[in-house]
Homo-oligomer: A and B are copies of this chain.
């Protein structure tokens, strides 16, 4: 409970027929500390207006375009003006509004992957550094309490030196040509003009990369990728299998697939160290398996007193009362809101307030680029740093 006035959000995208926009709204509003007060909810002005009406936006702040929102909100006094922009459009409509609003000094919460190219990403990173704004990227899975607990255990040495990471993001919903049916989610995700150079590797592989980075703190140095398109006529990969090497010598395997029938949203990770392992699965997010050499497996569960502070600080319900996707998503927003309320932006804010920042988003874009390059290469290893 708080006396603080709600954070005012202006949303770009998320109109009728969209999926993720509604998720962002629930996540942002979960704790009652934010409200969507303005929006340009579709790239089609007419649809934007209708969507805003359906959502109950005031007419004056129900904008036909994000440009209109930028123009007018910039003129409002600071106590009325939106505190941040939430960008929930398909990937190809991230860069322009993100840059324009950042340059105008607005804070941003943007869906992933951040943008299409490393160059765009660098431009954004520089803009955030320059304007000292808050910029969060909704890698929502890192918001789960037991992910934060895994991170705490790994970082405090519980499992020793990290030797190996196996991270998988298994889905099956694109095993057939769903996009030809006009299903909106399938359509833009399989369209390079909207999604960028990566299919499965971009849409979900980027989550796997970020989850790995978030928990371990390691950097991928080399990638060996095999990207495949199984569904005829599709223009982007729908299956990605990667070998990885990390900066400390650890090895990795990364799987991102959308053609594994019977897998729903099966993001899972295991980290193996010299003293033990931790294992987590998104579909059973309230548990973390902790396995120390010579000891019995332990199942750590959200909401218990024996957990790390990192896990305890981001949970809303007692043990056994399961939390799930929305709450994890809300945790990303909640931490970004802390930075916004504190007025502390720039690249450090993501570290200080524990949310995925613009540089994490940039690293993700670069990871997609290099993976696509690796897949086309006959060399086994493609360096993340192209100079190497």
Contact = CB atoms under 8 A, between A and B. Distances in A.
Interface of A: 1-5, 16, 19, 22-23, 25-26, 29-32, 51, 53-56, 159, 163-164, 166, 171-173, 175-176, 224, 226, 228, 230, 239, 241, 243, 245, 251-253, 255, 257, 259-266, 270, 272-277, 279, 282-286, 289-301, 303-306, 316-327, 377-381
A226 B224 contact: yes
9 contacts: A22-B316, A26-B30, A164-B239, A164-B259, A224-B380, A262-B289, A263-B320, A264-B319, A265-B318
A296 B300 contact: yes
Contacts of A300: 296
B239 A260 contact: no
Contacts of A175: 274, 293
A112 B202 CA distance: 41
A274 B262 CA distance: 11
A76 to B, nearest CB: 22
Contact of A241 (B251, B292, B294, B325): B251
Given A22-B1, A253-B241, A261 B176 contact: no
A293 B260 CA distance: 10
Contacts of A163: 230, 239, 259
A317 B306 contact: no
B304 A266 contact: no
A299 B164 CA distance: 23
A261 B275 contact: yes
A288 B292 CA distance: 17
Contacts of A292: 261-262
A171 B272 CA distance: 11
A22 B32 CA distance: 10
A275 to B, nearest CB: 7
Nearest to A29: B32
Contacts of A378: 379-381
A34 to B, nearest CB: 11
Contacts of A224: 224, 226, 243, 380
A260 B243 contact: no
Contacts of A265: 318-321
A72 to B, nearest CB: 22
A296 B285 contact: no
A270 to B, nearest CB: 7
A252 to B, nearest CB: 8
Contacts of A295: 306
A166 to B, nearest CB: 7
B306 A1 contact: no
Contacts of A277: 172, 260-263
Given A226-B251, A264-B318, A296-B306, 4 more contacts: A261-B275, A262-B277, A324-B324, A324-B327
Given A54-B1, A241-B253, A296-B300, A164 B260 contact: yes
B22 A26 contact: no
A54 B1 CA distance: 6
A269 to B, nearest CB: 13
